[in-house]
A and B are shown apart, each in its own frame.
Chain A
Amino acid sequence: MSIDVSLERAKEQAVAGGVKPRRFGGWYVAEHRLMVMRSYLQTMIATGIGSPLLYLYALGVGLATIVDANVGSEQAAVTYLVFVAPALLCSAALTTATEEFSYPIMLGFKWNPTFFGMNSAPLTGQQIINGVVYAVIIRMLGQSIVYYAFMLLFGAVPSPLGWLTIPVATLTGMAVGTLIMAYATHLDEDRGQFNYVMRFGVIPMTLFSGTFFPLETLPSFLQWIGWISPLWHGVELSRVFAYGLDEPGWLTAVHVIYLIALTVIGWVVAQRLAVRRLNK
């Protein structure tokens, strides 16, 4: 350290010092999130393995004995296990997204304001949001791969395209998660709002999105829930890949566009709100 460098030299150093953070800043934030996740790695592994095992067995094997016996093989195109497995995969990703995009955001802005620390370093609000997103995508992909392996083990994936349910589940988590993230970025204080979102948003969505039974079995005045539910679009799309669900091509395109659109909206809004919140 020495003081007798001219201002011009200092300026050059500053310009050089900004290059890497500008280019890779989001990844540095992701690295931080993944480091923090390491502190609850055991929980992540336990739920990552336990949840597919329990749900696939309880619903796809247990409950399936009743369902398959009553539906009749000529009516149902596939067994209940094959029907429900892609939906379970998607809702598992959704649950993880709900966790990772709510409290960690509040934590970083409020409870333990590490985002302000990142911003005092060369990182920007956009990069902080991007980094959180990258880290959660990595976690959801990892978790979905494990889930998919269990689906294969249970014999729940007839189609060779079944592996595409992994990115679809991750995209489903993103579509809901980035919206929650935008909300959390906006939220000054959590007075039970997340609980509310969970209880009256995520859980009903899980129940009425054609997950455990086809949407068509709902009375027609309730079917709109499915149409606006990102989970329904994700579940239907993953069924297309997992067992070749028969639906018109335009509808498959709508699923993809809808999920990507929600993801982008939530992501961009969260970025803007983050920049504003950090610039006090």
Chain B
Amino acid sequence: MPEAVISAKNLVKKYKDFPAVDGISFDIAPGESFGFLGPNGAGKSTTMRMVGAVSTRTAGDLSIIGLDPNQNGPEIRSQLGVVPQADNLDADLKVRDNLIIYGRYFGFPRNYLGPKADELLEFAQLTDKAKSRVDDLSGGMKRRLTIARALINNPRILLLDEPTTGLDPQARHVLWDRLFRLKEQGTTLVLTTHYMDEAEQLCDRLVVIDKGSIMAEGTPASLIRQYSTREVLELRFGSDRNAAVAEQIAGIGDRIEVLPDRILIYSDNGEAELQRVTEAGLNPITSLVRRSSLEDVFLRLTGRSLIE
């Protein structure tokens, strides 16, 4: 791996006595697309704020572009693009003015920012909204504008905290497409998500994070290979029967997880396991065979679902 552009060792952030981030270590290479996958409250956003050089760490080492955020916050931030979880676009200013004033914060002159803003509006498919008020934009448009704003300084690293939360499927796909283009251009992407499909789509490598600690690290495919089976059989017997049925089918598949609403049977051949279940005289209300996903990895690692 080339020299890391972001490097964290035993990074800790405590609020009073509560450790929101509890000693995590990771290295991110230039041009890499790196994800933090975990449920709400896992410590993802806190980590992102520390990497964004706006939140002081309690302990550990953190180096971003070879600089320490405790001393060189403004220098580091001059090379970052930040897409926060909650939009903080300026509702008092028009769409294009939002980009221009944000560029001013980096010290760029207005005669540079005008054409740059137009180029970014084009990229974000917002050219015809240039003179609109921010409040008149849809959720997806606001996100795209926030991403455009984060690109005003040609950032070396783009930090995205839950970039598609709250968006409809179509808006998510438009956003993924834009992020994919940035990745192709060589921008380092660091993102948090609690959507496994998003992590699979966008991340070269990710860490699964829970309760402030890293549970596992790897590519999406290697994590699935390591912590799950190729396929999963999902069965529903009705919420009052699932637990009882689970005892009867013990031994089927590699591993069984009982969730409140369904039973998951992990196996490399889901159809074969389904046949064994029916041969045992059990008739599920619904059954489904699917590929393993990061959701299953998370369930295996923590015993809990990602989205509760």
Chain A: residues with CB nearer than 8 A to chain B? 1-3, 6-8, 10-11, 13-15, 17-22, 24-25, 28-29, 31-32, 35-36, 39, 112-114, 116-124, 278-280
Are B75 and A3 in touch, CB under 8 angstroms? no
Are A122 and B31 in touch, CB under 8 angstroms? no
Are A10 and B156 in touch, CB under 8 angstroms? yes
Please report the C-alpha to C-alpha distance between residue A28 and residue B74 in the assembled complex, in whole angstroms: 14
B72: contacting residue among A8, A18, A114, A123, CB under 8 A: A18
User: Within 8 Å of chain A (Cβ to Cβ): is B213?
Assistant: no
Are A112 and B78 in touch, CB under 8 angstroms? no
Are A118 and B105 in touch, CB under 8 angstroms? yes
Tell me the minimal C-beta distance from B192 to chain A in angstroms.
15
Question: Which residues of chain B are near A114, meaning CB under 8 Å?
Answer: 88, 90
Question: Which residues of chain B are near A116, meaning CB under 8 Å?
Answer: 54, 84, 88
Are A21 and B105 in touch, CB under 8 angstroms? yes
Are B106 and A121 in touch, CB under 8 angstroms? yes
Are B90 and A36 in touch, CB under 8 angstroms? yes
Q: Can you list 22 A-B contacts (CB < 8 A)?
A: A7-B5, A7-B65, A14-B65, A14-B79, A22-B74, A28-B105, A29-B105, A32-B90, A36-B93, A112-B92, A113-B86, A116-B54, A117-B84, A117-B102, A120-B84, A121-B77, A121-B153, A122-B73, A122-B105, A123-B74, A280-B54, A280-B55
Tell me the minimal C-beta distance from B179 to chain A in angstroms.
14
With CB as the reference atom, state the residue of chain A lying closest to B156: A10
Which residues of chain B from 84 to 116 have a CB within 8 Å of any chain A CB?
84, 86, 88-93, 97, 101-102, 104-107
With CB as the reference atom, state the residue of chain A lying closest to B4: A7
Please report the C-alpha to C-alpha distance between residue A112 and residue B134 in the assembled complex, in whole angstroms: 12
Which residues of chain B from 38 to 65 have a CB within 8 Å of any chain A CB?
49, 52, 54-56, 65
Are A120 and B52 in touch, CB under 8 angstroms? yes
Question: Which residues of chain B are near A35, meaning CB under 8 Å?
Answer: 93, 97, 101
Task: Tell whether A279 pairs with B102 under 8 Å between CB atoms, given A24-B107, A112-B91.
Answer: no
Q: Other than the known A120-B54, A120-B77, A122-B105, what 9 A-B pairs have Cβ atoms closer than 8 Å?
A: A1-B185, A11-B66, A13-B79, A14-B65, A15-B75, A35-B93, A35-B101, A39-B92, A118-B105
- B 120-135 to A, binary, CB cutoff 8 A, 1 in contact else 0: 0000000000000000
Question: Which residues of chain B are near A278, meaning CB under 8 Å?
Answer: 54
Question: Which residues of chain B are near A6, meaning CB under 8 Å?
Answer: 3
Are B101 and A31 in touch, CB under 8 angstroms? yes
Tell me the minimal C-beta distance from B226 to chain A in angstroms.
28
Are B101 and A32 in touch, CB under 8 angstroms? yes
Task: Tell whether A14 pairs with B187 under 8 Å between CB atoms, given A21-B107, A35-B101, A119-B54.
Answer: no
Task: Tell whether A10 pairs with B88 under 8 Å between CB atoms, given A32-B104, A36-B93, A279-B55.
Answer: no
